[in-house]
Chain A
Amino acid sequence: MKAYLSQIWVCRWFWFSLVRMDLRARYRGSVLGMGWSLLNPIAMTVIFCTVFATLLNQDIHFYAPYVMAGIAVWNFFLHSTLEGCQCFLRAESYIRQYPAPMAIYPLRNTLSHGFHLVLASFLVIALSLALRGWTGILPIFSLLVSLPIFLVAGWAVSVLFGLANIHFRDTRHLAEIGFQILFYLSPIMYPSSLLIDRGLGWMVHINPVVPFLDLIRIPMLEGKIADPLTWGLAMGISMLLGLVGCLALRAKEDKVILHL
């Protein structure tokens, strides 16, 4: 374990430069640079606000940052998973040339999406400042602290879906369908209170995405740190995923190359 981690550390410059290149490739060639990638959450928020704020009878001061935070979290997990599916296939030529630890390829994926999550969080902070006013530094600090929880979970789903995809090449396609369904089941564009009020609270309670959503929404919307249960659930899910990811990787580390 320790030896493995030190191997990851040894080739840090390699995966770090890949992450940087992924980010640069994404921002280069667009006039707006980083702004371009934020256009998606902004546009989604605007659309949701025009349609659903009225339809669901929501106060825009609450609803706009609520939706934007939801989209930020959702996009992180969606892209960590979908692009995670390709993480080993994409790295085939490296894997065939150098015996670098496999963990770095999902890591590349997660870190670049983690960066987008941070960017999108800034947007949420700005929006909630504009609409809800300054509620102190604590909520922002709490976002910062929760970032590692997101990264561990994101890395684990990249590993698991990446490994699944080298065995079954339709994993990405199935994951897309799964995420589509999960999107409508999750309180992203509608407030969870709507479900709870109509006796569908269990759907909120069993949804593994909800603690992660709350981890950003509670500080941003209510100006306080999320309750211990939310932290505990998010950390628990993230650690469980992380553990499964580590075990899966340990079992498959040497065999990845045979399936490429």
Chain B
Amino acid sequence: MALVVLDQVSLTFKVRQNKVLTLKEFLVGQMFRKGNYPQMEVKALKEVSFEVAKGERLGILGHNGAGKSTLLKMLAGIYRPSSGKREVIGKISSLFDIHLGFEPEANGWENIAYRSYLQGETPSTLKEKVQAIADFTELGDFLNMPVRYYSAGMMVRLAFAIATSIDPEILLIDEVLSAGDLAFQQKAIKRMREMMDRAQLVIMVSHDLISIRNFCTRGLWMDHGSVKQIGPINEVVLAYQESVRSQTKAA
């Protein structure tokens, strides 16, 4: 069973306009200036409601800063909604910023291990997978080297191989398909597809309208933190393309 329900979910960030605060400044400020630290409210999500059921593949589109990634992170449980209700039935796996969070001093094998543990593996389940992950990276002996010496492309290979080794129930993906050199990219797309096919429910953010159209069943168009349109993927993509076209024309 996999189900994602959002009911009137809003998320508001308070952002300090100045640089980071120090205790010294804060105390001095309290004493002499009665503490004046302007905070800016950013309404990242505004009363977002939708429901995604098992078998559905939802593609999220919208311009930069529309709240797509924030929405995904909120679904993953990384941000708690400021108001509204988020209900998720099923185990979530997510692929965000997969190239971040590697321990530079540890070698490739060690990084495979603890990344996998973070994704919910245990030593016994990892044992079955670790060789497959290593093979997919094609990094060979480089896996014995601390990852701080890896090139950007090697990091991508490693990160991608680990991140896509899961068997997801609910899969959240944020723009990860820019992986490595050409040969690897072909392999990566195939592997990604296979993983997404295994998932019971997929929600993905992408600017690649062609692949979103190919893969998704429904589309969600986010605009300034609100849902602008939700419906069958073709309709939403067309409406979005239309609005972008008329905007660029006007400009």
Instruction: Give the docked Cα–Cα distance between A17 and B119 (Å).
Output: 13
Main secondary structure of the interface of A (DSSP, over half): helix
Query: Is the beta-carbon distance between A170 and B118 smaller than 8 angstroms?
Result: no
CB contact under 8 A between A169 and B21, given known A97-B97, A97-B101, A257-B78: yes
Instruction: Give the docked Cα–Cα distance between A13 and B119 (Å).
Output: 10
The answer to whether B106 has its CB under 8 Å from any CB of chain A is yes
The answer to whether A206 has its CB under 8 Å from any CB of chain B is no
Instruction: Give the docked Cα–Cα distance between A67 and B96 (Å).
Output: 50
The answer to whether A100 has its CB under 8 Å from any CB of chain B is yes
Interface residues of A in 65-123 (CB under 8 A from B): 93-100
Taking CB atoms, residues of chain A closer than 8 Å to B80 are: 254
The answer to whether B77 has its CB under 8 Å from any CB of chain A is yes
CB contact under 8 A between A168 and B26, given known A11-B117, A13-B122, A14-B117: yes
Taking CB atoms, residues of chain B closer than 8 Å to A94 are: 101, 118
> Nearest residue in A to B121 (C-beta to C-beta)?
A13
Instruction: Please give 16 more A-B residue pairs, beta carbons under 8 A apart, in addition to A17-B110, A21-B106, A169-B22.
Output: A11-B117, A14-B117, A17-B113, A93-B101, A96-B97, A97-B94, A97-B97, A97-B101, A97-B118, A164-B23, A167-B21, A168-B22, A168-B26, A169-B20, A169-B21, A258-B13
Taking CB atoms, residues of chain B closer than 8 Å to A170 are: 22-24
Interface residues of B in 101-133 (CB under 8 A from A): 101, 103, 105-106, 110, 113-114, 117-123
Taking CB atoms, residues of chain B closer than 8 Å to A18 are: 103, 114
Interface residues of B in 3-21 (CB under 8 A from A): 13-14, 20-21
Taking CB atoms, residues of chain B closer than 8 Å to A96 are: 73, 78, 96-97, 100-101
Interface residues of A in 4-25 (CB under 8 A from B): 10-11, 13-14, 16-18, 21, 24-25
Query: Is the beta-carbon distance between A168 and B114 smaller than 8 angstroms?
Result: no
**Smallest beta-carbon distance A98→chain B, Å:** 6
The answer to whether A135 has its CB under 8 Å from any CB of chain B is no
Taking CB atoms, residues of chain B closer than 8 Å to A28 are: 105
Query: Is the beta-carbon distance between A99 and B23 smaller than 8 angstroms?
Result: no
Q: Which of A14, A25, A93, A257 contacts B105 (CB 8 A)?
A: A25
**Smallest beta-carbon distance B150→chain A, Å:** 16
**Smallest beta-carbon distance B128→chain A, Å:** 15
Instruction: Give the docked Cα–Cα distance between A13 and B116 (Å).
Output: 9
Total chain B interface residues with beta-carbon distance under 8 A? 33
Total chain A interface residues with beta-carbon distance under 8 A? 29
The answer to whether B76 has its CB under 8 Å from any CB of chain A is yes
The answer to whether B149 has its CB under 8 Å from any CB of chain A is no
Q: Which of A11, A99, A171, A174 contacts B78 (CB 8 A)?
A: A99
CB contact under 8 A between A99 and B113, given known A168-B21, A258-B14: no
> Nearest residue in A to B103 (C-beta to C-beta)?
A21
Looking at A11, A21, A95, the one whose CB has the most chain B CB atoms below 10 A away is A21
Instruction: Give the docked Cα–Cα distance between A257 and B14 (Å).
Output: 12
**Smallest beta-carbon distance B79→chain A, Å:** 7
Instruction: Give the docked Cα–Cα distance between A17 and B117 (Å).
Output: 8
Query: Is the beta-carbon distance between A93 and B78 smaller than 8 angstroms?
Result: no
**Smallest beta-carbon distance A168→chain B, Å:** 4
Query: Is the beta-carbon distance between B78 and A98 smaller than 8 angstroms?
Result: yes
Taking CB atoms, residues of chain A closer than 8 Å to B113 are: 17
**Smallest beta-carbon distance B168→chain A, Å:** 13
**Smallest beta-carbon distance B173→chain A, Å:** 13
Instruction: Give the docked Cα–Cα distance between A13 and B106 (Å).
Output: 16
Query: Is the beta-carbon distance between A17 and B23 smaller than 8 angstroms?
Result: no
CB contact under 8 A between A14 and B78, given known A96-B97, A169-B20, A169-B21: no
> Nearest residue in B to A174 (C-beta to C-beta)?
B23
Taking CB atoms, residues of chain B closer than 8 Å to A254 are: 80
Taking CB atoms, residues of chain B closer than 8 Å to A168 are: 21-23, 26
Instruction: Give the docked Cα–Cα distance between A169 and B26 (Å).
Output: 11
Instruction: Give the docked Cα–Cα distance between A99 and B101 (Å).
Output: 14
Chain B 69-86 per-residue mask, 1 if CB under 8 angstroms from chain A, else 0: 000010011111000000
Q: Which of A10, A25, A99 contacts B77 (CB 8 A)?
A: A99
Q: Which of B20, B76, B118 contacts A14 (CB 8 A)?
A: B118
Q: Please give me the 5 A-B residue pairs with the lowest Cβ-Cβ distance, nearest first.
A: A93-B101, A99-B77, A13-B117, A168-B23, A170-B22
